Amino acid sequence: MTAVSDALAIASGPAPMPAYRGRLAPSPTGYLHLGHARTFWVAQERARATGGVLVLRNEDLDRARCQPEFATAMLEDLRWFGFAWQEGPDMGGPFAPYAQSERLPLYRAAFERLRAGGFVYPCTCSRKDILNALSAPHAGDDEPIYPGTCRPRLSPPAGRACSWRFRVPEGEAIAFIDGQFGPQEFVAGRDFGDFVVWRHDDLPAYQLACVVDDAAMRITEVVRGADLLVSTARQGLLYRALGWAPPAFFHCPLLTDDRGQRLAKRHDALSLRALQRGGSQPHDLRATWATNVPSAPGEFFQQKP
């Protein structure tokens, strides 16, 4: 456990201002598609523009959905498209390992810190329980706002699996400047509710793993899809609770198909693999994107405790 504590201490301690460190964080749950490639390309361009480092992180925590064949394909497809990274699961680096499935002790240490600090509480609600408890139908594709059923619960139930939720500060506005979309503000309890940081299957939830890795890998700017804007507010709360400085954020508009639907891994025809087999060339695909990459980094506003 000493190594884990040290790693967390390093991530939270004062550090000299690092050069730009960006990351690509794909999840091997299917083949990468053009939408991923466009967001990743922005990340790569922003790292290149400053002579920075690009980290590849394999977000393979979801054991049920991640498959080794997709992890292999992921690396092949990224290379084919023209991506080059300086640290990653295939080449190692100073913050190895770069696959989330190999980083569980780090997440657990951060979770224990949240637990010791009283930031989280055990929750036994199923998704159905939560939907049933909501008075208004849930709109959009973000998760429903947790109704707070288990908030008073102090200790986990005996002999029963539970998840752990972060108790958000009701009514507090979490503000940050996004490098692409400018000033953003999300109100805790209104725009998002208590969110899961540790899952009932004893794995860290996305929000926690992402924050722990970005902090431990000294990422200075997170470039990702605009669907994660609200998650940035959640993650801002995790950074504050853990005592770490958040990185800058730059969210990219999402690619849609010709019916206005967001590209997803089910759009097989637009997978990099299918495009390659169909004879597409990466530079032609990239030429179809309007490249407009502003140079301003985003920043978190000082949050009032």
Closer residue to Zn ion, CB minimum distance, 160 or 304? 160
Shortest distance in whole angstroms from residue 130 CB to Zn ion: 7
Closer residue to Zn ion, CB minimum distance, 16 or 152? 152
* Calpha distance 74→77 (Å, rounded): 5
Residue carrying structure tokens 């301003």: 296
Instruction: Check: CB of residue 58 under 8 Å from CB of residue 74.
Output: yes
Residue carrying structure tokens 């190594």: 3
Q: Which of 199, 265, 273, 286 is catalytic?
A: 265
Radius of gyration of the chain (CA): 19
Closer residue to Zn ion, CB minimum distance, 8 or 150? 150
Question: Would you tell me which residues interact with Zn ion (CB under 5 A)?
Answer: 123, 125, 149-150
* Calpha distance 75→92 (Å, rounded): 14
- Residue 128 bears catalytic tag: no
Shortest distance in whole angstroms from residue 61 CB to Zn ion: 22
Which residues face 183 on adjacent strands? Answer: 177
Shortest distance in whole angstroms from residue 215 CB to Zn ion: 27
Token code pair at residue 87: 């640290």
Shortest distance in whole angstroms from residue 146 CB to Zn ion: 7
Closer residue to Zn ion, CB minimum distance, 125 or 248? 125
Q: Is the dihedral of CA 150, 154, 157, 162 positive or negative?
A: positive
Kindly list the catalytic residues.
265
